[in-house]
Structure 1
Amino acid sequence: MSQDPGLWTVLLAMIAGAIRVSTPFLFVSLGECLTEKSGRINLGLEGTLIFGAMSAYATAYTTGSPWLGVLVAGFAGLSLGVLHGLLCNLPRINDVAVGIALMLFGTGLAFFFGKPFIQPAAPRLPGIPLGDWTGNPAIASALDINPLFFVGAGLALVMAWGFKTTRWGLIVRMVGDSAAAARAMGYSLGQVRLICTALGGFLSGIGGSFLSLSYPGSWNEGLSSGQGLIAVALVIFARWNPLRCFVAALLFGGAGALGPALQSIGISQGYYLFNAAPYILTLLIMIASVSPKRSLKDAPSELSITR
């Protein structure tokens, strides 16, 4: 009998942890999916994520409104996305190199402006209590889900529908798959890619706000732990499909929640190894998809990695 509660505790903790940990992955991967669908890669999303986290925390602390912090984080990410898009629209500019430069730039900005906010406590985003009906405090706490998770899930559905059925979705896909066809139809490649990169940055900034205002719910310089870069690999794993990005984010979230879930029932041996599960999973995915025929099968044709 003693094993059943432990098993249920682990499963519940895994599910709740997967939802919490997956939310930043979800927003960043959806942002990168939109950007790459237009034929551009943005490797600077790690810096965008950290800058968004700092902006959200600083805004929530100074104004007392965590939701205003989320909005400011989105526009902070938007600003870096616009900068990335404008630089990449210049002739003979490599989008991968620009992304790396902006990753360092965004991280540096966050560290510089965020130092006064490392110690103060900002108000956190409220959750939706889905487990109060159980009468069990542990279950109720685990099922206290942040609304941003549901926003991200709905956004994945809207993006998948939009890419398939809307005129704007068709334009984005055409720009990403055939620059010649887009030019022939009279569309500006630079303008479409600028908009997509900016919106991708906006979503990544919101993902950063979740880190600082919900889980783990603080601001420090090691907050991201490479999640922005992992999300780029996640998009490749999801084959540039928003719905698969949602599933892949939950998979990575479950891997990240494995260590804390086992620790909740007293299993601490190998804790640091379990905490490394998302990075090990990323490595395994990249090794498994190393073949160009497999990893780039559904990639937009205009991406620099496909040419």
Structure 2
Amino acid sequence: MENLSMVFVALIAGALRVSTPFLFVSLGECLTEKSGRINLGNEGALVLGAMTAYAFSYETGSPWLGVLAAMCAGGALGLLHGLVCSLARVNDIAMGIAVMLAGIGIAFFFGKPYIQPSAPQLPVLPLGFWSDTPQIRSALDVSPLFFLGLLIAVFMAWAFKNTRTGLVVRIVGDSADAARAMGLPIDRIRILSTVAGSALAGVGGSFLSLSYPGSWNEGLSSGQGLVAVALVVFARWNPIACVGAALLFGAAGALGPSLQTIGVTQGYYLFYAAPYVLTLVIMVLTVAPGRVLRGMPGELSLTR
């Protein structure tokens, strides 16, 4: 019974940690896709954000400046993607792959000097203060970025339903013809949405290098930015549902370490593959031929 309780606590704590980058990238992709554009380049924004955050934290001594720098780096990649995709006959998905490779390449090139040095980390919120067990207190140290992501999700959901800006983004994403009839600047709105979405992905990257696992190396992301695109489809383009989906994926990612806490080492690498298996299963179940994707913006390239 004690072992099960330890696994449960470790799974909850791991879900809160592992879900944070998924949350930011999925919210960023949700915003971008709501405007009618797909951005696979958010994987590059995530990696570039992680490197930039770590470098700025190391050079300035302030991890929060690192988060701000990561947001700017992600936004810069989003600007590149948005500008090029606004040109005639440019495919969103192909350009997204190019931006992803560019972001990863830039991060690897400029990040080599920062693989060994130790940068200041983000502070944590001690949610395990109630426990007398050191392992539980340590496990429940949660980054403030997780709660920032929750606030952003709530704000996005409210803004899409209750503000003119949110309505404009939705109109542009659902029908370009209707947007043109209303005189809306379609390209500008999609560019700004892409910039904001990639900036959020950059913040997600800062969590990886400044909180958990809390270092910079070239294998830091493991494809989390690409998984988050599937997560948005699973969440049906709903920011609040993105939170639940991110926690689900986070729990899947924390399954292996949680079982290790009670000495289960058989199939160690198989458990670490759980998020990717879950992604495949969800995509098969939710994107079956003939199945209606409720909430999908009408202007996404997938529908053309």
Report the TM-score range of the alignment, normalised by the length of the smaller protein. over 0.9
Please list the CA deviations of residues 195-215 of structure 1 after superposition, one character each: whole Å capped at 9, or x if unmatched. Answer: 100000100000000000000
d(CA) in 1 for partners of 2:203, 2:289: 32
User: Which ranges of structure 2 fall in alignment gaps of 5 or more residues?
Assistant: none
Shift of 1:153: 0.7
Aligned to 1:279: 276
Shift of 1:42: 0.2
d(CA) in 1 for partners of 2:134, 2:63: 25
- Which residue of the other structure, out of 141, 145, 149, is the alignment partner of 1:144? 141
- Which residue of the other structure, out of 245, 250, 257, is the alignment partner of 2:247? 250
Alignment of 1:79 with 2:76, yes or no, is yes
The DSSP-based 3-state class of the residue aligned with 1:132 is: coil
Shift of 1:291: 2.0
User: What amino acid does structure 2 have at the position aligned with 1:306?
Assistant: T
- Which residue of the other structure, out of 227, 230, 234, is the alignment partner of 1:230? 227
Q: 1:45-56 counterparts in 2 under 5 A? A: 45-56=42-53
- Which residue of the other structure, out of 100, 113, 117, is the alignment partner of 2:114? 117
Alignment of 1:165 with 2:162, yes or no, is yes
d(CA) in 2 for partners of 1:105, 1:289: 31
Please list the CA deviations of residues 38-97 of structure 1 after superposition, one character each: whole Å capped at 9, or x if unmatched. Answer: 000001111110000000000011111111100000000000001111001111111111
Q: 1:121-132 counterparts in 2 under 5 A? A: 121-132=118-129
Shift of 1:134: 2.1
Please list the CA deviations of residues 18-43 of structure 1 after superposition, one character each: whole Å capped at 9, or x if unmatched. Answer: 00000000000000000000000001
User: Which ranges of structure 1 fall in alignment gaps of 5 or more residues?
Assistant: none
**1:236, 1:295 within 8 Å by CA — same for their partners in 2?**
no
Shift of 1:292: 4.4
Q: Give me the identity figure in percent.
A: 68
**1:13, 1:261 within 8 Å by CA — same for their partners in 2?**
yes
Over aligned residues, Cα RMSD in angstroms? Answer: 0.9
User: What amino acid does structure 2 have at the position aligned with 1:244?
Assistant: A
User: What amino acid does structure 2 have at the position aligned with 1:14?
Assistant: L
Task: Flag the 1:250–1:103 CA change in 2: closer, same or farther, 3 A.
Answer: same
Aligned to 2:207: 210
Aligned to 1:265: 262
Question: How many residues align structurally?
Answer: 304
Alignment of 1:99 with 2:99, yes or no, is no
**1:299, 1:306 within 8 Å by CA — same for their partners in 2?**
no
User: What amino acid does structure 1 have at the position aligned with 2:187?
Assistant: G
Instruction: Give the TM-score normalised by structure 2.
Output: 0.98
Shift of 1:295: 5.6
Task: Flag the 1:292–1:172 CA change in 2: closer, same or farther, 3 A.
Answer: farther
d(CA) in 2 for partners of 1:258, 1:291: 27
- Which is worse superposed, 31-40 or 122-131? 122-131
Shift of 1:152: 0.3
Shift of 1:294: 2.9
